[in-house]
Amino acid sequence: MSTQLSLLDQYEEPSGPKVLTVSELTRRIKRTLETGFTSLSVEGEITNFKVHSSGHIYFSLKDSSALISAVMWRSRAPSLSFTPEDGMKVIATGRITLFEARGIYQIDVTSLRPVGVGELQIAFEKLKRKLAAEGLFDEERKKSLPRYPISIGIVTSETGAALFDMLHVFEKRFPTIEIVLCPVQVQGVGAGRGIARAVADFNDYGQVDLIIVARGGGSLEDLWAFNEEIVARAIVASHIPVVSAVGHEVDFTISDFVSDLRAPTPTAAAQLVVPDKSALLDTIFNYWYHSYRSIQKSIQFHKDRFRNLLRSYSFNRPLDLLRQYDQRVDELERSMTAAMTHKVSLLHAQTNSLRDQLAALDPQSILRRGYTIVRKNGRIAGSRRDVNTGDDIEITFHDGKALSKVS
């Protein structure tokens, strides 16, 4: 009896490479790439730039013939000293990784820097031309600053030297001025959005007379947040006057051009926006003194004229001439009295106005409206962050002081 073999029995598995699963192949490629490209720097043009809600940054780098994906994780984003944008040429440093779920390789970026200052300067000039063409730098659209502000809003870092420099000037020149701080990040990814939001928040708050946008000096990269269009638009949209005080005297940013006043430094901004209290008091006294002297001279002038009239030949003529001029003397007296009364009334009104302005700036006036001053260890606590639970504090009311403990 012959035995017949089935087709399956006759099939022999061909010899050749081992068959891999997709996962196995992907893992092999991942190992090869990640061990072969552990540290590299790539120059290219940014495209598809996006900051995810998670804080991670996704973008691609391209040149004339190729494109590669890149990612910078949220923990590394604060190290950026500028805000990347599409079209900017940069050098990305990092390593190659493979995203296994999609089989896509990418650069895991540890640091990112523009290709020289030239790229940032080009972007700066481009935005400057755009906003200038819209008329946003025109002096006609800029608002005047209040001569005697009562409350000032500051947009800057709460730990930067710029803030403390300004507070020192305010304390020296006009210690009763009210300062409201909106702390922001002043460089890196998201700094521009934060600055713009702070300006808008002060406008919504509506309780400050002017806003100072400030930070200390630095490189073009360090100051880049103040060159972002979103910041420029927020300053232009503000109905409250905005002073730009960014960097040193030689530094210029887009915010300088669109603001209502550019101050060369934060310290200079503080000096420009508030008067010196002692100088203001001297001005008020001088105004009063000169007004008083003017009235005295006017009175003396009319007295002299009257004496001369009494000594004149016409006054000593016969009775008919005396009667003729009698009415003129009466008219002169009425005119002089009316003029002096008007002058005194005007001086009185001006003096009252100046006294009211001083009263509005008096700390006691502010305290009588229900506000209080909180001190810790003898120093004013201007923020909740200045006190901690358990601290002893002194609270000053308009009619006395009280001691308390922070709970």
Domain ranges of the chain: 22-114, 143-275, 278-360, 366-405
- Name the token pair of 14: 């061909």
Amino acid of residue 286: N
Q: How far is CA 43 from CA 36, 57, 92, 94, in A?
A: 19, 17, 6, 12
User: Nearest Cα to 199, choosing from 212, 186, 216, 217?
Assistant: 212
Q: How is domain 143-275 classified at the CATH fold level?
A: Rossmann fold (3.40.50)
Say if residue 68 is exposed, middle or buried (CB neighbours under 10 Å; 0-12, 13-18, 19+).
middle
Q: What does the pLDDT read at residue 202?
A: 97
Q: What does the pLDDT read at residue 14?
A: 56
Report the distance separating Cα 210 and Cα 143, nearest Å.
Answer: 10
Amino acid of residue 75: S
Say if residue 218 is exposed, middle or buried (CB neighbours under 10 Å; 0-12, 13-18, 19+).
middle
Q: Using alpha carbons only, how large is the chain's radius of gyration in Å?
A: 38
Q: What does the pLDDT read at residue 255?
A: 96
Helix 229-237 to helix 116-133 angle, to the nearest 10 degrees?
Answer: 30
Report the distance separating Cα 52 and Cα 121, nearest Å.
Answer: 27
* DSSP run (H or E) holding 25: helix 22-36
Instruction: Answer yes or no: are the C-beta atoms of 46 and 84 closer than 8 Å.
Output: yes
Say if residue 108 is exposed, middle or buried (CB neighbours under 10 Å; 0-12, 13-18, 19+).
middle
User: Nearest Cα to 255, choosing from 269, 245, 268, 266?
Assistant: 245
Q: What does the pLDDT read at residue 1?
A: 46
DSSP per residue over 153-174, as a string? EEEE-TTSHHHHHHHHHHHHH-
Q: What does the pLDDT read at residue 309?
A: 76
What class is the 22-114 domain?
A: mainly beta
* DSSP run (H or E) holding 405: strand 400-405
- Each residue's pLDDT tens digit in the chain (407 positions)? 444 555 555 545 556 678 888 888 888 888 888 888 888 999 999 999 999 889 899 999 999 899 999 999 999 888 887 778 888 888 999 999 988 888 888 999 999 888 866 778 888 888 999 999 999 999 999 999 999 999 999 999 999 999 999 999 999 999 899 999 999 999 988 899 999 999 999 999 999 999 999 999 888 888 999 999 999 999 999 999 999 999 888 889 999 999 999 999 999 999 999 998 877 777 777 878 788 888 888 888 888 888 887 777 666 666 666 666 777 888 888 888 888 888 888 888 888 888 878 777 777 777 777 888 888 888 888 788 888 888 888 888 878 888 888 87
Q: What does the pLDDT read at residue 322?
A: 65
